[in-house]
Structure 1
Amino acid sequence: MPQDISFSVRNNNGDAVRVGAWRYAGDGSGPNVHLQAGVHADEIAGMLVLHLLMQRLHTAETQGRLKGNITVVPQANPLGIGQFRQGRILGRYHDATGHNFNRSFDQSAAMARPSTCVQQWQKKLVQLAAPADVMLDLHTDDEALPYLYVHRSFWPRGRELAAAMKMDVAIIWDDGGDGSFEETIIAPWIRDGVTAGRMAATLELRGQGDVSDRFAEQDAAGLYNWLCGCGVIDESVAPAEWPVEAVEMGHMETILAPQPGVLIFEKELGDFVEEGQRFARILRTPGDPSSEVVLHAEQAGRLVTRYRDRLISQGMGVAKFTGSRVSRNWSGGLLDPN
């Protein structure tokens, strides 16, 4: 049986809330792994994926086939998971402080005495993952193709992970600066020059509505097979073959809404558009044809993400596309600064 290594943090009211965590023991000959989902508590798909994966890991542990220790945190954020408002979970930001749950992990980890419940939670989560050689953080976008965020230090090795997960796109980044969990974990590796044999990535498992047995079983199998391939589980698995488009972070095009209104997409996820081609429109005032604005692609590329709701406010991200040149809107940092 896996070892229960769950821990508690305090919520806004000072009550203890539990972060469920389990460790599967290997024989010490393989890399140690940390897997987690739900840092943004409204991104649910990874929770089901890890739930299913844990059943396979239990079998491998029982049969003595684990070479590395594997820590699994299938629902990492008890602070955000309870933030329901008018029937909808708001799990990206902490209600009381406005803190984005996946920002400033580095600052929280460096504090001797974190002052807020979010900072305390972040520090404990970093401490749990810090000994790992492999860290995968499972997220989802609004509506999206499955895609991978990976630091340049782990590319092209990350292609095998993306292929195992049948991810269509891998976004390669260099500098973050916002203290995301992934960035915080790999910072000492990069500083000390010890990235060989290690891996860290953020996996975007499609969109927030893509929670199903079919997807979860496919993703759990992909993770399991990849863990076999990188020497964590003693099982022979053929490397996956899947076309993965590698895109520089600065080449991704994010189209913002020039006005509020009803959002109508004319292209589907994965569609290729030419530069200048229309892909959506926004109707500001239904009944007034002159209030409609057509949106065009900034450059040729594939539609990777779409805004989930069909009523959008001005300035929100409508869609993201792959590109072949630096976006004129690129100013550094990660893809989603907020």
Structure 2
Amino acid sequence: MIEEIPLPCARLGTRRVLAVHRFGAPGARPRAYLQAALHADETPGMLVAHHLIRLLREAAVTGEVVVVPVANPIGLAQVVEGTHVGRYALDGGGNFNRQFPDLTDAAAERLSGALGDDAAENVRLVRAALRAAHADLTPATEVAALRHALLGLALDADLVLDLHCDQEAVPHLYTGEALWPALSDVAGELGCEAVLLERDSGGTPFDEACSGPWWRLAGRFGSETPVPFGCAAATVELRGKADVSDALAEADARALLRILVRRGVVAGETAPPPPACEATPLAGLERLTAPHPGVIAFHRAVGERVAPGDLVADIVDPSAADPAQARTPLRAGTAGILMARSNRRFAGMGELVASIAGREPLQRTGRGLLFD
């Protein structure tokens, strides 16, 4: 079944909708939610969703699966002089994958005195409280309405996968500390070469808006009123922006189907997943930025292992009076995998050039760990 959810019209004469593909019986468990291209210029997930929808049409869905293959029709339309601006809202609404509502406090108020020692019943009560807290929100802008609609589709799912990509990257995954290693099969099936864990990455991205209230509520109410993690959510980065092909997308879609089978959402049998890579703290992600503008000359490819001091790239000022003084080296400060790098070959001062996933924390945990 396909449902169209209209978004409020920000301008006269415009109309945008979310196309929602539903499989299985409404309300059946387990429930899975998948969306693609919340950052609207990140194309790989849309083609993966296309192949997954085709596979699900032929599968026996015993739970419920909801797929939103184009999660951001606002950003998809933001093309300025041939340049697609899909990461940020041009109306000032910011990064499309930030500032999702945190429903924890509002749900906690509704749950005060209601929870008991029955974990399954507590899960039901928490889901009802989250839905009620969400229903009470009144978004004031088109972007806020988009965030509200997407969160409403996902917030009571058992599994939430938000499909993104980086600029140039190996497959990798972001998720909460509390959800690892429960999501290790997702990383293994999709061939992730890095998994980044954090309790609160800052900025309230979509996956944390779905799963974060569960571990926060569990911490508030304590062991006498157990709150299991009723939603396992992750941001999946499907390589780089140019890694778009039917071969890659179908392989990823089949991996996602195996994940759904393993969780009992889709009927069938599947082999054990490939082993997952090592998970490392999001605070251990080193970001190399350009100290001044210049041409980027890379010396390391994504997926390579680096050690402290290794040369990753040079920032070259082609206008320098002395070519011998034109290069500024960017060297790794930590040991790890070169997870991602810029797909542009010119950087402005302070712009992100490359990211290295390392084991040792380098940043302050808590707020602001995500590169906006």
| TM-score class, shorter | over 0.9
* Structure 1 Cα separation of the partners of residues 368 and 84 of structure 2: 24
| 1:12 matches 2:10 | yes
Residue 107 (structure 2) aligns with? none
Could you say if the C-alpha distance between residues 177 and 269 of structure 1 is closer, same or farther in structure 2, counting changes exceeding 3 Å? Answer: closer
| 1:322 matches 2:357 | yes
Quick check: 259-268 or 83-92, which moved more? Answer: 83-92
CA contact (8 A) 1:299 1:323 kept: yes
Aligned-pair distance for 1:331?
5.6
* Structure 1 Cα separation of the partners of residues 214 and 46 of structure 2: 27
| 1:176 matches 2:201 | yes
Gaps of 5+ in 1: none
Could you say if the C-alpha distance between residues 76 and 183 of structure 1 is closer, same or farther in structure 2, counting changes exceeding 3 Å? Answer: same
Quick check: 106-115 or 299-308, which moved more? Answer: 106-115
| 1:295 matches 2:330 | yes
CA contact (8 A) 2:44 2:164 kept: yes
Could you say if the C-alpha distance between residues 239 and 216 of structure 1 is closer, same or farther in structure 2, counting changes exceeding 3 Å? Answer: same
Could you say if the C-alpha distance between residues 234 and 110 of structure 1 is closer, same or farther in structure 2, counting changes exceeding 3 Å? Answer: closer
CA contact (8 A) 1:12 1:96 kept: no
Could you say if the C-alpha distance between residues 284 and 145 of structure 1 is closer, same or farther in structure 2, counting changes exceeding 3 Å? Answer: same
- AA at the equivalent of 2:163: L
Q: Secondary structure of 2:73's partner? A: coil
* Structure 2 Cα separation of the partners of residues 256 and 239 of structure 1: 40
- AA at the equivalent of 1:333: R
* Structure 2 Cα separation of the partners of residues 166 and 195 of structure 1: 28
CA contact (8 A) 2:93 2:143 kept: no
CA contact (8 A) 1:114 1:120 kept: yes
CA contact (8 A) 1:106 1:180 kept: no
Residue 43 (structure 1) aligns with? 42
Residue 154 (structure 2) aligns with? 129
* Structure 1 Cα separation of the partners of residues 92 and 28 of structure 2: 43
Q: Pairwise mapping of residues 40-189 of structure 1 onto structure 2 (< 5 A)?
A: 40-60=39-59, 65-106=60-101, 112-189=137-214
CA RMSD of aligned residues (A): 2.0
Aligned-pair distance for 1:85?
1.4
Residue 312 (structure 2) aligns with? 279
- AA at the equivalent of 1:32: R
* Structure 2 Cα separation of the partners of residues 133 and 307 of structure 1: 34
Could you say if the C-alpha distance between residues 142 and 112 of structure 1 is closer, same or farther in structure 2, counting changes exceeding 3 Å? Answer: same
CA contact (8 A) 1:274 1:301 kept: yes
- AA at the equivalent of 2:153: L
Query: Number of residue pairs matched?
Result: 331
Residue 333 (structure 1) aligns with? 367
* Structure 1 Cα separation of the partners of residues 346 and 232 of structure 2: 39
CA contact (8 A) 2:151 2:210 kept: yes
Aligned-pair distance for 1:298?
0.3
Q: Give deviations 1:8-28, integer Å, cap 9, x for gaps.
A: 113431422111111101497
Aligned-pair distance for 1:173?
1.0
* Structure 1 Cα separation of the partners of residues 163 and 180 of structure 2: 18
Could you say if the C-alpha distance between residues 243 and 152 of structure 1 is closer, same or farther in structure 2, counting changes exceeding 3 Å? Answer: closer
Q: Give deviations 1:209-257, integer Å, cap 9, x for gaps.
A: 1111111011101100111111111110001214512111111111111
- AA at the equivalent of 1:213: D
* Structure 1 Cα separation of the partners of residues 135 and 84 of structure 2: 30
CA contact (8 A) 1:11 1:79 kept: no
Q: Give deviations 1:128-172, integer Å, cap 9, x for gaps.
A: 212211111001111111001010111011111100111111111
| 1:223 matches 2:232 | no
Aligned-pair distance for 1:277?
1.4
Residue 232 (structure 1) aligns with? 265
Aligned-pair distance for 1:192?
3.4
* Structure 1 Cα separation of the partners of residues 199 and 212 of structure 2: 11
